[in-house]
Amino acid sequence: MSMSRDQADQRQIPQPIRPDGAGGIDTGPRDIWRDLENPDQLVPPVTDNGLLPNMVFSFSDTHMKLNFGGWSREVTTRELPIAKDLAGVNMYLKPGGVRELHWHQQAEWAFMISGSARITAIDAEGRNYIADVGQGDLWYFPPGLPHSIQGLEHGAEFLLVFDDGNFSDLNTLSISDWMAHTPRSVLAANFGVAEEAFCHLPKDQVYIYQASVPGSLESQRIESPYGSVPLPFSHRLMAQKPLVSSGGTVRIADSTNFQISKKIAAALVEIKPGAMRELHWHPNADEWQYYLSGTGRMTVFGGNGAARTYNVRAGDVGYVPFAFGHYIQNIGNDSIWFLEMFRSDRFADVSLNQWMALTPKAIVESNLCAGNELMDALNPVKQPVVKFPRKDKAD
């Protein structure tokens, strides 16, 4: 439903006009709510230039697939064409709801947003893994390994990330789909039972279905004769000690501390109100972002004078191509929490501040016509930095 003009007047209708007079009024038709949410796209900073593609897409604008055991929605290259390296699925399972036994050609990385779930998997050596994961936990299943997910007593909402931008969760390899398309005589021969044992097989892929809430982890544990997997498929990210700077925190999970995660590296970032994730870039991969809370803005610099500013908020996916410079600034009243993910085994970033600080002073001064105030502010650091714009704003 669109907002009436009387309602909009109460919100002070935003217009595409800069303080210097550039631009002009937009008399409509228009989506005023959307303009209010995206002030830096309605009135771009004067530093924006060129024709960079869209790099933000909201899960709220995706197709929702509803099943009796939960729901799912996804952001792939279909929704966000620039995002070629990674795709994401937001999924909810009711208490007892099951994402059926399945496997992928891609690696699966996951972050538990709320609730809890039970995950199961086996590897190619026949070693199994059964574990419960809660809010803030991660899991990772290497390509080709079969697994399942089931919501526990309060259900589970989570984010799944795959190392292929063209991935779709509806095109995965599922046990129900395979058996539905295999002759019953073959199934009977394979399992050593009569064909009648397969009379009630689903006719199509089940995908997500409703079942009972499982019993305790101990009651469901099955000991494999080949032992357990050598590296755990889950990781308690929030149990990590964060990297702390004046404006927020960063927790990094990659193959150095979540050893099974060979194809996707990630960081969970907190940006306090008024603070920013400093100017930086990533030298090893594109960045796929998911915003968990808060309101911010991000300017992406693509070289040759091209730069574009995007507004971001909870539920949005952001994307920054390999080596493009960017920052994320908190422009709201609450902390921003977001995930940044990479198709890589290692997290890596390059700080603009650090680069300048570790370059001979004379060349930086001559390159930028820089004065003493800027040169004195440069400070080499060894970690991703979230900071306040002025030293007197630090806590």
Q: Which residues are catalytic?
A: 340
Whole-number Cα distances in Å, 52 to 57, 60, 96, 278, 297: 15, 23, 44, 21, 16
Name residue, tokens 């936990």: 137
Q: What is the DSSP letter of 382?
A: S
Tokens of 316: 């949005």
Peptide bond into 45 cis (omega under 30): no
**Chain mean position to CA 84:** 14
Residue 146 forms beta bridges with which residues? none
Residue 227: count of CB within 10 angstroms of its CB: 11
3-state DSSP assignment of residue 139: strand
Compute the distance between CA of residue 211 and CA of residue 101 in angstroms, rounded to an integer: 13
Count of residues in the chain: 395
Alpha helices in the chain (DSSP H): 5-10, 32-37, 39-42, 175-180, 184-191, 217-220, 352-357, 361-368, 372-377
Tokens of 79: 């929704």
The answer to whether residues 113 and 159 touch, using CB atoms and an 8 Å cutoff, is: yes
The CA dihedral of 183, 187, 192, 197, to the nearest 10 degrees, is -90
Is residue 329 packed enough to be buried (19+ CB in 10 Å), middle (13-18) or exposed (0-12)? Answer: buried
Compute the distance between CA of residue 215 and CA of residue 18 in angstroms, rounded to an integer: 61
Compute the distance between CA of residue 345 and CA of residue 357 in angstroms, rounded to an integer: 28
